[in-house]
Amino acid sequence: MFHQVTGSSNDIVPQTEYEKKYDTQQFVGRGNFSIVHLAIQKETGKKFAVKIIDKTKFMFQSKVLAALDREVEILAKVQPHVNIVGFEEAFDEGDKLRIVMELLPGGDLLKLLKTRGPLDEETVRGFFLQMVHVLKYLKTKGITHRDLKPDNFLVADGDVLKLADFGIAKGTSAGNALNTMCGTPAYLAPEVILGKPYDSRVDVYSIGVILFFLLSCGDTPYQNAQSEPELYQKVKNGDVDWSAPSWATVSPSAKDLIRQLMALDPAQRIKLEDIEAHAWFNRVYAHLVLQGEKQDIFELKSVITKIGRSGSEYRNGYLD
C-alpha cells in the first residue's frame, strides 16, 4: 500500500520511488491540506491524479499524521468499486505524502450543476441512486465518510459518480460510536452539531442535503443563514427553507424522501436499506442499481441511462 522512502548521504539527491515511476505535470486542483497534479506513469503513459500533502505542516500533530495514514488505508480497503475513485498506490516520503488515484477531469457535482443548469428529477434520481449504492457498500466495510457533499462526488463518463476524499472517513466496529465534530457545516447532521455520539446515519442525513441541493439547483436547506452559529441553530431546529420557486415543480414524493433523510432524530431517519423502496423510485431500476458492489459497470451505466440522463470547511475529523 505504502512505499516508504529513506534518505541518502550522497550529494546528488536520488530520485524518490514516486519519481522513478511518475512524471508530475500541471496543477489540477487544491484541497484543504493538499494540492493535486496530473501524473503520468512512465512505464505505461497512463494518466493519474496525484494528491500531494505537505506533512511538515503537521509535524507536531500526531493525530493528524495518523489520520493521513488512515485515509490511505481506507481508500485501499474500499477498492475496487464503480462509485469510488480508483486508488493506485501511495508514497510516504517523510515530509510529503503522495496518493496516486484515478484521474477524473470532468469535475464534481457542483461543477456539473453550474455547467448544465437545473436538473430534472430523472437525472437527479440517477445520481442519487448511485449515492445510496456506495453508502450501502461503505456500510458493509464499517466505514462512515463524514464529509459527503457535491464537491466530493466526481463525475465520470456516462454520469457515473465517484466518491472521493476519505480524509476524515473513519472505520468503526459494531456498537462503537463516533464523537468528533467534523465535516462541512451545511451538510452536518444535527447530532454532530449537538456533540452527541453518532454513527453512519450522519451520511444518510448528508445525502438528504445533497438531494435538496440538486433538486433546488444549488440551494442548501439553510440557505438564508447569515453566520455559522445561525446555520447550526437552523440545523438543530430542522428549519428547512422550502420557499424557492423551484420547489413548486418538484414532486411531493421527492420532498417526502428529503424530509425522511433529514429527520432530526437519527432513530427516525429513513434507513439506508429502505430508501430503494420509497415511492420516489422506480423499484425495478432501483433493484438493479442497488444490488451490490459486484454490479457491472456497463449494466450500471445502462440503468442510469434509463432512469436519468445518458451519456469555509470544518476539518477537525483528523482529531479522532
Omega before 252 within 30 of 0, i.e. cis: no
Is residue 51 a known part of a binding site?
Answer: yes
Mean pLDDT, all residues of the chain: 86
What pTM does this model have? Answer: 0.85
Is residue 239 a known part of a binding site?
Answer: no
Measure CA 225 to chain center. 24
Say whether both 93 and 187 belong to one domain. Answer: no
Say whether both 115 and 98 belong to one domain. Answer: no
Percent of the chain, pLDDT > 70? 83
Query: Which pLDDT score is estimated for 307?
Result: 41
Query: Which pLDDT score is estimated for 311?
Result: 33
Say whether both 157 and 45 belong to one domain. Answer: no
Measured in residues, the chain has a length of 320
Say whether both 269 and 159 belong to one domain. Answer: yes
Residue-wise pLDDT tens digits, 244-261? 999 999 999 999 999 999
Say whether both 84 and 61 belong to one domain. Answer: yes
Say whether both 150 and 58 belong to one domain. Answer: no
Catalytic annotation present for 147:
yes
CA–CA separation, 295 and 301 (whole Å): 10
Q: Which of 108, 147, 203, 219 is catalytic?
A: 147
pLDDT band at 26 (very low <50, low <70, confident <90, very high): very high
Burial pattern 69-94, b for ≥16 Cβ within 10 A else e, equals ebbbbbbbbbeebbbbbbbbbbbbbe
CATH of the domain at 96: 3.30.200.20
Say whether both 156 and 296 belong to one domain. Answer: yes
Cβ atoms of 151 and 210 within 8 Å: the answer is no
293 pLDDT above the threshold of 60: no
Considering only CA atoms, which of 106, 107, 67, 104 is closest in space to residue 87? 104
Residue-wise pLDDT tens digits, 73-113? 999 999 999 999 999 999 999 889 999 999 999 899 999 99
Residue-wise pLDDT tens digits, 199-232? 999 999 999 999 999 999 999 999 889 999 999 9
123 pLDDT above the threshold of 90: yes
CA–CA separation, 43 and 45 (whole Å): 6
Say whether both 251 and 219 belong to one domain. Answer: yes
> Given 48, 73, 102, which residue is the final one in a domain?
102
CB-count exposure of residue 242 (10 Å: 0-12, 13-18, 19+): middle
From residue 56, give the alpha-carbon distance in Å to each of 7, 45, 93. Answer: 16, 31, 11
Residue-wise pLDDT tens digits, 60-82? 788 888 888 899 999 999 999 99
Cβ atoms of 168 and 92 within 8 Å: the answer is no
If one counts the domains in the chain, the total is 2
pLDDT band at 122 (very low <50, low <70, confident <90, very high): very high
Structural domain including 138 reads 109-319
Report the first-to-last Cα separation within the chain, whole angstroms. 22
CATH of the domain at 305: 1.10.510.10
Say whether both 47 and 139 belong to one domain. Answer: no
> Given 46, 78, 102, which residue is the final one in a domain?
102
Query: Which pLDDT score is estimated for 65?
Result: 84
Say whether both 199 and 245 belong to one domain. Answer: yes
Say whether both 305 and 209 belong to one domain. Answer: yes
> Given 84, 102, 120, which residue is the final one in a domain?
102
Residue-wise pLDDT tens digits, 270-279? 999 999 999 9
Say whether both 246 and 306 belong to one domain. Answer: yes
